[in-house]
Amino acid sequence: MLKLIKLTCVFFCLFIFSISNSNAGDINVVTSAFAPFNYVEDGKNKGFCTEIIQAILEELEIQDQIQTYPWARTYQIALKQKNTLIYTIARTPQREKLFHWVGIIISGKSYLFSLRKRNLAITSLQQAGTYNIGAVRNGIRSKHLYSKGIINLDLVEDSQTNAVKLMNNRIDLWVEDELSANYTVRNLGYNPHKILRKAFELDLKLDGYMAFSLNTDEKIIELFKKTLKKLIDDGTYTKIKNKYI
């Protein structure tokens, strides 16, 4: 029995070694700027999702060669090129059969944020609709609110404008996910934990995935799945996420 266990361990190690070394040069990793999840700063790839990808690459001893392009180009590269990993990408019915889905790297709940000092008590979406809500024009969250009959929206082009308007009492609520809200407020020079309060959670969850192109070696896909699970199980994922909350 002991001999069998040893042989199994040896086989697994050889499997990882063969994937990490023989195929490492064939793996392309592409992304696009979408702060705070993935972005470039001072010529370096940064962001929560980028750090997760980098941790996986480090675990597998694969050189970090993440390339950042505009979204349209990133998407086309992932559709056409062999052994290509794309992140962060939403998993939609239209895309389901276009990629091999490795797993969720960010699960983004959506909230209506208020100023902490106002201490608004909101118990329903209908009640929230009586307030002036800041949202990004043509964004998924603003469309979601419209679909729920919430029309009292103050639409702007970006999250930073919403944050500034909230802090200046020009809007009552701001719809956003937690990581993006915190990132935006920090960039304005404030501590989000002293400024923001989650006034209401929406029934809208926007998960971000990592996925491989269809013509990718199945062994590579399975190895990335197992490594992502390992990072979650051993606490590495949470440790990275806590830096952005």
pLDDT at 177: 94
Q: Sheet containing 153-156: which strands, arranged edge to edge?
A: 66-68, 28-31, 84-89, 196-213, 99-115, 173-177, 133-136, 153-156
Token digits of residue 129: 């609709």
pLDDT in tens, 191-227: 999 999 999 999 998 899 999 999 999 999 999 999 9
The number of folded domains in the chain is 2
pLDDT in tens, 126-177: 999 999 999 999 898 999 999 999 999 999 999 999 999 999 999 999 999 9
* Residue 160: inside a domain: yes
Token digits of residue 69: 């392009």
Contact present, 128 and 122 (Cβ < 8 Å)? yes
Flag whether the pTM goes above 0.85.
no
pLDDT at 5: 41
Beta-strand relationship, 39-41 and 44-46:
antiparallel
113 and 199 assigned to the same domain: yes
53 and 133 assigned to the same domain: no
* Residue 22: inside a domain: no
Domain extent for 93 = 29-107+207-242
212 and 97 assigned to the same domain: yes
152 and 174 assigned to the same domain: yes
* Residue 197: inside a domain: yes
Beta bridge pairs of residue 104:
209
112 and 99 assigned to the same domain: no
211 and 93 assigned to the same domain: yes
220 and 196 assigned to the same domain: no
126 and 183 assigned to the same domain: yes
100 and 217 assigned to the same domain: yes
Which CATH number does the domain housing residue 115 bear?
3.40.190.10
* Residue 16: inside a domain: no
- Reference 176, options 190, 192, 191, 188; nearest CA is 192
pLDDT in tens, 82-139: 999 999 999 989 999 999 999 999 988 999 999 999 989 899 999 999 999 999 998 9
- Reference 111, options 146, 144, 147; nearest CA is 144
* Residue 161: inside a domain: yes
pLDDT in tens, 54-66: 999 999 999 999 9
* Residue 50: inside a domain: yes
45 and 165 assigned to the same domain: no
* Residue 10: inside a domain: no
138 and 184 assigned to the same domain: yes
pLDDT level of residue 10 (50, 70, 90 thresholds): very low
198 and 229 assigned to the same domain: no
Across the chain, where does the E strand assignment appear?
28-31, 39-41, 44-46, 66-68, 84-89, 99-115, 133-136, 153-156, 173-177, 196-213
Beta-strand relationship, 66-68 and 84-89:
unpaired
- Reference 172, options 124, 134, 135; nearest CA is 134
* Residue 13: inside a domain: no
Which residue shows structure tokens 């002293």?
194
